[in-house]
């Protein structure tokens, strides 16, 4: 079944997630609705003893890759790969998708990571420095490179279709969803597992982002540290995890009797061409991404019922994102519910966009808008409706989610309720 422009329609039939607030989609959504924070002191390394300015993060707790892969396989996977494979298995199982020799070539994987296997790189760099080149692991490269989560998902599931890894910082997994949608629309695949993964709560990463003054230093109250749009925000909190969506051509999903969770309606992708870390003045790049997504979806701004903002909890981001929303939505911006789920999950960098897309799908399904927790002190530059501290009931036929990355990468996605 094609849309009015002749392209195939693309729906979501499966979702899977590992995050700081849950090891599966059910746990994630329960925590989101409850407004539960996944932030706490860093335990992956001794941030206090080593004098780090930022000593907090949003770590995944209780994760066991052996629920999905063998001990031998797990040892050859960086944590970033383990997260991805586990989330992909959940997504495929929730979709009821069987990948066989008959359909494998029509099932693709587009999964990205902003940073890749940084923990492995740091560990093996130390081995090189201390013990010499002959002691460096032969698995360093396949554990470290950013494309290997996509490769390992393909290997684990037997998916033989298109397979690649977008890398666009915090827009990575939103790009993965958008590019997967475009591949299916033009007939290059019937099904694509799309998403992102990140596992860089490591000394080098925290030191690097800390040197940029990008991270919160609210170490004495970590669960209140991520506070998007709040006047007292002082930086983002690093998160980790993975989120995967099974995207499928509508006719393919219907032929196999799949449960449809929602439809991907719009995808806008732009560049700021402005600065290595700062958004363009007025959020101009984000404005164009949102407008392209709306045009592709054939929607007017007033038809968007909820917007999941990029909302990292950094001073400049929320001010400019708010300005861009006002430009796109006009007076309706003041009535549009907006929230940032990063207030609970922290910032998963390359995995943020796909995780937030899953939250949007659950919001549509349950008619529940997630809150922005820790919103206490209004900022005069951020004067819209950020759904403070409590979830809200509303019918959500169309929702938008934004992802903005260092380097000036902007992605806006629009998801719609499936009416059958």
Catalytic machinery residues? 170, 310, 347
Neighbours of 257 (CB within 10 A): 7
Q: CB–CB of 416/299 below 8 Å?
A: no
Residues 6+ apart with CB under 8 A from 250: 1, 8, 9, 10, 11, 260, 263
Q: CB–CB of 52/201 below 8 Å?
A: no
- For the CA atoms of 147, 150, 152, 158, the dihedral, rounded to the nearest 10 degrees, stands at -140
Where are the alpha helices (H) located in 350-396, listed in sequence order? 352-366
Q: How many whole angstroms separate alpha carbon 105 and alpha carbon 125?
A: 38
DSSP secondary structure string for all residues of 278-325: SPPGGGHHHHHHHHHHHHHHT--GGG--EEE----S-HHHHHHHHHHH
Q: How many Cα atoms occupy the beta-carbon half-sphere of 283 within 13 Å?
A: 26
Helix/strand/coil for 343: helix
Long-range residue pairs from 202-207, CB within 8 A, at least 24 positions apart, any chain:
202/44, 202/45, 202/118, 202/119, 202/122, 203/45, 203/47, 203/50, 203/52, 203/122, 204/118, 204/122, 205/115, 205/118, 205/238, 206/42, 206/47, 206/52, 206/54, 206/57, 206/238, 207/52
């Amino acid at each position: 079944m094609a849309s009015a422009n002749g392209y195939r329609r693309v729906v979501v039939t499966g979702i899977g997630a590992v995050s700081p607030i849950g090891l599966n989609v059910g746990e994630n959504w329960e925590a989101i609705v409850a407004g539960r924070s996944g932030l706490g002191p860093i335990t992956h390394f001794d941030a206090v003893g080593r004098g780090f300015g930022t000593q907090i993060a949003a770590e995944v707790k209780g994760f066991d890759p052996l629920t999905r892969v063998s001990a031998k396989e797990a040892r050859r996977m960086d944590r970033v790969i383990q997260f991805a494979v586990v989330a992909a298995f959940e997504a495929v199982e929730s979709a009821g998708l069987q990948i066989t020799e008959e359909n494998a070539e029509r099932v693709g994987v587009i999964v990205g990571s902003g940073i890749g296997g940084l923990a492995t790189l740091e560990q093996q760099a130390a081995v090189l420095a201390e013990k010499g080149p002959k002691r460096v692991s032969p698995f360093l490269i396949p554990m470290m490179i950013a494309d290997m989560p996509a490769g390992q998902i393909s290997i684990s599931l037997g998916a033989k279709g298109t397979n690649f890894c977008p890398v666009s910082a915090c827009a990575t997994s939103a790009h993965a969803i958008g590019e997967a949608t475009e591949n299916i629309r033009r007939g290059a695949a019937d099904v694509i597992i799309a998403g992102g993964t990140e596992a860089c709560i490591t000394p080098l990463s925290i030191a690097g982002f800390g040197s940029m003054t990008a991270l919160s230093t609210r170490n004495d109250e970590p669960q209140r540290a991520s506070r998007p749009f709040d006047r007292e925000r002082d930086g983002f909190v690093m998160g980790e995890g993975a989120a995967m969506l099974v995207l499928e051509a509508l006719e393919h999903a219907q032929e196999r009797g799949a449960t449809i969770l929602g439809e991907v309606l719009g995808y806008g992708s732009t560049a700021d061409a402005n600065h290595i870390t700062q958004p363009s003045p007025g959020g101009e790049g984000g404005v164009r991404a949102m407008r392209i997504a709306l045009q592709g979806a054939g929607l007017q701004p007033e038809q968007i019922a909820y917007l999941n903002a990029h909302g990292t909890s950094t001073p400049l981001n929320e001010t400019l994102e708010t300005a861009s929303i006002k430009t796109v939505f006009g007076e309706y911006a003041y009535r549009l519910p907006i929230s940032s789920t990063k207030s609970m999950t922290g910032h998963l960098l390359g995995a943020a966009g796909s995780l937030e897309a899953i939250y949007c799908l659950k919001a549509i399904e349950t008619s529940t808008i997630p809150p922005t927790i820790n919103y206490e002190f209004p900022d005069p530059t951020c004067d819209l409706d950020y759904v403070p501290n409590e979830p809200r009931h509303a019918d959500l036929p169309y929702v938008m989610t934004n992802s903005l990355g260092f380097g000036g990468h902007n992605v806006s996605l629009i998801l719609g309720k499936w009416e059958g």
